[in-house]
Amino acid sequence: MSTDLGELMNRCRGSGLRRTKALEVLLGTLLKADRPMTLARLQKSRTLSSQCDKATIYRLLHRLADAGIVRRLGLHERAAYFALIIPDQHRDYLICTGCGTIDPIEAPCPVHHLEDEIRTKTGYQNLYHELEFFGTCPKCA
């Protein structure tokens, strides 16, 4: 199932976020990204930097994270990476403790069955999980 910008904007409105050109361009940039992006990398996007400054991008990312629309990843003492949370699409990540690189895991998630069991036993709705593995990447090893 794919998500488009219109669906993301509807989620933003449902979370009380005001529709702005900067928000649309930020969401579009994240939607096109093949992996999580740092604030610095987002700021280097020509389309995004023509709409807003670094402080605005930072504020928008944190509002989106608070609204459950983006996920903050990474080692806390390093730059944060941001990735969209898209319903019915799930990504787990490998994070290098040496250089901080983040790569998506291209394997089935081992936690989905457990999540289904917990949902059934507890009655929780909108249940989700975030799975991150930490280690040393081949470049740093």
Q: pTM surpassing 0.85?
A: no
Are 82 and 104 contained in the same domain? Answer: no
Are 43 and 80 contained in the same domain? Answer: yes
Are 58 and 110 contained in the same domain? Answer: no
Are 136 and 105 contained in the same domain? Answer: yes
* Residue 63 belongs to domain spanning: 1-88
User: Could you give the number of structural domains in the chain?
Assistant: 2
CATH value at residue 80:
1.10.10.10
Beta-sheet strands, E only, within the chain: 37-38, 70-73, 81-84, 93-96, 102-104, 132-135
- The strand pair at 70-73 and 81-84 is best described as antiparallel
In this structure, is the dihedral angle defined by the CA atoms of residues 60, 61, 66 and 68, taken in order, positive or negative?
positive
Are 95 and 126 contained in the same domain? Answer: yes
Are 94 and 83 contained in the same domain? Answer: no
Residue showing tokens 């936690």: 111
- Rounded distance, CA 8 to CA 19, Å? 11
Q: pLDDT tens digits, residue range 7-66?
A: 999 999 999 999 999 999 999 999 998 889 988 899 998 888 898 999 999 999 999 999
